[in-house]
Structure 1
Amino acid sequence: MRNPFSSAPASGTAPDANAVRNDPASDLLLHAISSADTTKSSDSKPEFTTARIDEELARAGSPNAAEGQPEYKLYKRRFIGLAALCLMNIVVSWGWLTYAPVVTITTQFYGLGSETPVNWLSTVVLWAYVVATPLVLYLLHHYPLRPTLILSLFLLLLGSWLRYASTHTHSFPLLMAGQILLGLSQPFVLSSPPYYSSLHFSPTGRISATALASLSNPIGAALAQLINPFLATKASHIPNMTLIISIITTIASISVLLVPSRPPTPPSASAAVEKHPFQDSWHHIRHNPQFWVIAVMFWIYLGLFNACSTILAQLLQPAGYTADEAGITGAILIVVGLVASAVVSPIVDRTHAFVPFMRSVIPVVAASYIALVPVIEVGKEKAGLPGVMVVAAVMGGSSFSLLPVALELVSEVTWPVGAEWGSCILWVGGQVVGAVLIIGLDAMRGVGEGGDVGKGDGDRNEHGRVKGMRWASVLMAILAAVAVVGIIGLKKVKGRVGVDLVAR
């Protein structure tokens, strides 16, 4: 196989720097060295020497290159690790939204005065995610993936069984403690897919692998929306529902013990390049405007999705939809999204049309949030169940297709910085925005319905009607529309894909 950093066939040794100066892959590698070696002072210039270039070229070769063997290799066991990441993402997300679809009877079971504390069960997971992310980033950068995921396993199991223990004492603080532990385990799992796919998959399989693992997280949310209302139809069913979910979580999460760490031989040229030091990576990210354009859009749309998933039943029920119909709508949003992503991801994997795809899909995401406003405004009598389901299908299909493409584009934009950097920053920002939105949207309950919003009993207004969230949907639509402006700043980049294509 041809060495990607040489204009001559691979001969078992790294090519001399002077022999590759006109090679396009070498230009990309030199650009990577330049980006990563820039010191903290913005006025300083990176120093290049022949020895430094030769060192990076040598790092890009595989252990078998000197023996004349194929330089890059794919291992079948990568699919075992991918399946384990999928299962972990499912149960982590299911745990996050355990009580959101059954908010009313959860309020009754724990003797709460309103549904707001139950909404905090979802919000606290997002804040715990933020707290744990710096540790996750450090561990993924310095240590193999498996021990990092084992720590996540411990937090997840402890949190799950604490929640079940709370059902025996009707202790809401204990339930909250379990949710916090679940939240601390989440960033280990959510931030891993781009990092894992960059280590184990080829350039034509990375987006699909990232999509499969990352979008398993919404599968957990779909299961929560669809199954939990049937597991708990009244307050006395909350303990059994929590027990069933805890057992499933325990069985599925043990699979992380099968996740392989770095493969013996890298799958591609870009995967063979050694990661840059921790502080240098942050400096490169901090001074990368293209990264921040993508990040801000990702934060807004992920935050909107998290908030909408959490309060979906509370958005729809005042408009005349039942809890079961709201759960089915949430499941449609997620199932259609998964199907759309399964179709789109392999196409983008092979065409690498990251930017054109994002420019075309982001306006569709915004349009779906805008369309949700009139559906809630006119209610079930006029919009009907098909109306809200169509909006949910469009929202899910566009949002889910966008997520893995954005994660992979960030890896391209920031390469040769490790993929865990972009993934961690994107996810944690989305969680912060989601948490803030859930708090803000909950505070808007009953706004614009006449009378004093503060009056009434819990979640009902002074007239005895369930407080609606009409203006909450309007705020989400405004944020979604404003974020579309970011597509102007998207630019095509030549990152690790450029190197990998030359290497073929």
Structure 2
Amino acid sequence: MGAVESTEGEREPLLAPRPPEEQGAQPVNSSRVYGRRWVVLTLFSVLGFLQGMVWNTWGPIQNSAKHAFGFSTTDIAVLVLWGPVGYIPWLLFMWLMDKKGLRVSLLLTAFLMVLGSVLRSVPLTDLQLRRWLIHGGQLLNGLAGPTLMSAGPLLSTTWFAPDQRATATAVASLVGYLGAACSFLIGPLAVPAPNDTQIVNTITHWDPGHIRDRIQLVLYTELGVIAVFFVAVLLYFPSRPPRPPSVAAASQRLSYRSSICRLLSNMRFLMIALAYSVPTGVVAGWSGVLDMILTPVRVSQVDAGWIGFWSILGGCVFGVAMARFADSIRGMLKLILVLMLAGASLAATWFTLTCLTRLTHLPSTKATLYTSCILVGIFINSSVPIFFELFIETVYPVPEGITCGVVTFLSNLFTGLLLFFLTFYFTGRICSMLFFYFTPISWNDE
């Protein structure tokens, strides 16, 4: 048998060599988890904490603010309403997050918070002008909400391994609620309250100037802390790690326009989003004016603050625990949410019936108000990170920031509708009845 020399074409390799710029590239499965992820999570969480605290500044001290600055009930409701109003340009913030990354988005958010805190803290003697500056500061703080409320899942996917993702999402998403809870505690303890929420023989009238000085101290303190963390984010907050923590974090996602179209055409996503946004949005607005709701039933400003604090704190602690449980057991997200919403419905029913004591003849005591409100906060607020994980699994490969931006916008929409209604038609009974009516017991994803 004779051997024939191979031709030039036969000696060409079947697989072409990779270009030089691709030869040094890391493979997709070359993932790594960095210890600095906890620093990134801490900076983001603290800003979320401060944003929630500033948003809920005036509700817990509404009686004091009325005496110090001449605010009306409408003013207090509008000050809380600026949080949902700040969500109107949410598409712009979601676009910025998708195109420029977390660092640019968070720097803009922190700058808006600093500027808003400066406006609130200007010590003018003209109370009318001071009133407008406070409203402007609350609006700027509300504009910081879209990034801080929706970027938690994006941060956890970008920096954390899959077995830590739900826990990181819970911390980043719930710490804003914890800030609102601390304002329930800090405000009433730092600012003296006029005793007009209790029926006593003699009513002590506090000096409005003294109340104004104490409120000014709270505003200055919040401004200083926000400025410190703005500098910290400016000095160190990377958009992403050098290597992704998982294959999912390195995968290609849909474009901004395609993501919005995909979400709005996904009926299952819209149904789950409705189940999330209605109860969480209404409870957020309801808790923001909790002192006004409980004043007609003779609950003092301090007691209302403690009720709001423990209800939100319980939801945050329980939410992190449930997220840690969801990290270890997958496939049970719907069952967990159904149980949470069922518990919230029962607790809301209990609260409503005790407030309607003239009709139901049920005892309305401090213990029943504490227990029912705390249970509502635990069940509703702890469901937030579980909902976020379910959203991400439902609409993948839509980017996490865009997905959570849509659902948090819907939640703030219902918050705004409730507060807008309360601005003009506020009564304590209507608040509790609306709160009960809008808390669903379950949802269907078929």
**TM-score for the superposition, normalised by structure 1:** 0.76
CA distance in structure 2 between the partners assigned to 1:267 and 1:147 by the alignment:
21
8 Å Cα contact 1:168/1:239 also seen in 2:
no
Which of 327, 340, 355 in structure 2 is aligned with 1:361? 340
Q: For residue 319 of structure 1, what is the aligned residue in structure 2?
A: 297
Q: For residue 138 of structure 1, what is the aligned residue in structure 2?
A: 95
- Tell me the CA shift for residue 433 of structure 1: 0.7
Q: For residue 328 of structure 1, what is the aligned residue in structure 2?
A: 306
Q: For residue 148 of structure 1, what is the aligned residue in structure 2?
A: 105
Which of 13, 27, 48 in structure 2 is aligned with 1:65? 27
2:389 corresponds to which letter in structure 1? E
Which of 149, 160, 163 in structure 2 is aligned with 1:201? 160
Q: For residue 217 of structure 2, what is the aligned residue in structure 1?
A: 240
- Tell me the CA shift for residue 167 of structure 1: 4.9
Which of 248, 256, 260 in structure 1 is aligned with 2:233? 256
1:343 corresponds to which letter in structure 2? A
Q: Summarize the alignment of residues 234-383 of structure 1 with structure 2, pairs less than 5 Å apart.
A: 234-257=211-234, 258-352=236-330, 353-378=332-357, 382-383=363-364
CA distance in structure 1 between the partners assigned to 2:123 and 2:83 by the alignment:
17
Please say if 1:392 is aligned against 2:350: no
Q: For residue 208 of structure 2, what is the aligned residue in structure 1?
A: none
8 Å Cα contact 1:77/1:260 also seen in 2:
no
- Tell me the CA shift for residue 88 of structure 1: 0.3
Please say if 1:107 is aligned against 2:66: yes
1:134 corresponds to which letter in structure 2? L
Cα shift readout 1:66-114 (whole Å, capped 9, x = no counterpart): 9xxx6221111111100011100010011101111111221222224x2
CA distance in structure 1 between the partners assigned to 2:66 and 2:124 by the alignment:
12
Cα shift readout 1:204-261 (whole Å, capped 9, x = no counterpart): 1111001001110011101111111122113442222211222222223433233221
CA distance in structure 2 between the partners assigned to 1:428 and 1:214 by the alignment:
14
- Tell me the CA shift for residue 297 of structure 1: 1.3
Q: CA RMSD in A?
A: 2.3
8 Å Cα contact 1:87/1:253 also seen in 2:
no
Q: For residue 382 of structure 2, what is the aligned residue in structure 1?
A: 401
2:46 corresponds to which letter in structure 1? L
**Percent same amino acid at aligned positions?**
23
Which of 423, 426, 433 in structure 2 is aligned with 1:445? 426
- Tell me the CA shift for residue 130 of structure 1: 2.2
2:421 corresponds to which letter in structure 1? G
8 Å Cα contact 1:122/1:310 also seen in 2:
yes
8 Å Cα contact 2:354/2:362 also seen in 1:
no
- Shift of the 354–124 alpha-carbon distance from structure 1 to 2, 3 Å rule, reads same
2:84 corresponds to which letter in structure 1? L
3-state secondary structure, aligned to 1:264: coil
- Shift of the 184–312 alpha-carbon distance from structure 1 to 2, 3 Å rule, reads same
CA distance in structure 2 between the partners assigned to 1:214 and 1:123 by the alignment:
20
Q: For residue 98 of structure 1, what is the aligned residue in structure 2?
A: 57
- Shift of the 168–349 alpha-carbon distance from structure 1 to 2, 3 Å rule, reads farther
1:428 corresponds to which letter in structure 2? F
2:372 corresponds to which letter in structure 1? V
8 Å Cα contact 2:283/2:435 also seen in 1:
no
8 Å Cα contact 2:94/2:405 also seen in 1:
yes
- Tell me the CA shift for residue 166 of structure 1: 5.3
Q: For residue 199 of structure 2, what is the aligned residue in structure 1?
A: none
1:179 corresponds to which letter in structure 2? Q
CA distance in structure 1 between the partners assigned to 2:264 and 2:165 by the alignment:
25
8 Å Cα contact 1:104/1:115 also seen in 2:
no
CA distance in structure 2 between the partners assigned to 1:72 and 1:104 by the alignment:
54
CA distance in structure 1 between the partners assigned to 2:219 and 2:334 by the alignment:
42
CA distance in structure 2 between the partners assigned to 1:161 and 1:356 by the alignment:
45
Q: How many residue pairs get matched? A: 402
Q: For residue 451 of structure 1, what is the aligned residue in structure 2?
A: none
Q: Summarize the alignment of residues 169-208 of structure 1 with structure 2, pairs less than 5 Å apart.
A: 169-170=126-127, 171-208=130-167
Cα shift readout 1:366-399 (whole Å, capped 9, x = no counterpart): 2222221122223999332111111122112211
* Deviates further, 279-288 or 194-203: 279-288
- Shift of the 173–394 alpha-carbon distance from structure 1 to 2, 3 Å rule, reads same
1:311 corresponds to which letter in structure 2? V
- Shift of the 290–351 alpha-carbon distance from structure 1 to 2, 3 Å rule, reads same
CA distance in structure 2 between the partners assigned to 1:409 and 1:255 by the alignment:
32
Cα shift readout 1:448-480 (whole Å, capped 9, x = no counterpart): xxxxxxxxxxxxxxxxxxxxx112211221111
8 Å Cα contact 1:82/1:259 also seen in 2:
no
2:290 corresponds to which letter in structure 1? L
- Tell me the CA shift for residue 360 of structure 1: 1.9
8 Å Cα contact 1:93/1:217 also seen in 2:
yes
- Tell me the CA shift for residue 442 of structure 1: 4.3
3-state secondary structure, aligned to 1:412: helix
8 Å Cα contact 2:286/2:431 also seen in 1:
no
CA distance in structure 2 between the partners assigned to 1:89 and 1:203 by the alignment:
23
CA distance in structure 2 between the partners assigned to 1:209 and 1:372 by the alignment:
32
8 Å Cα contact 2:111/2:230 also seen in 1:
no
Q: Which runs of 5+ in 1 are unaligned?
A: 1-15, 17-58, 447-468, 492-504
1:142 corresponds to which letter in structure 2? K
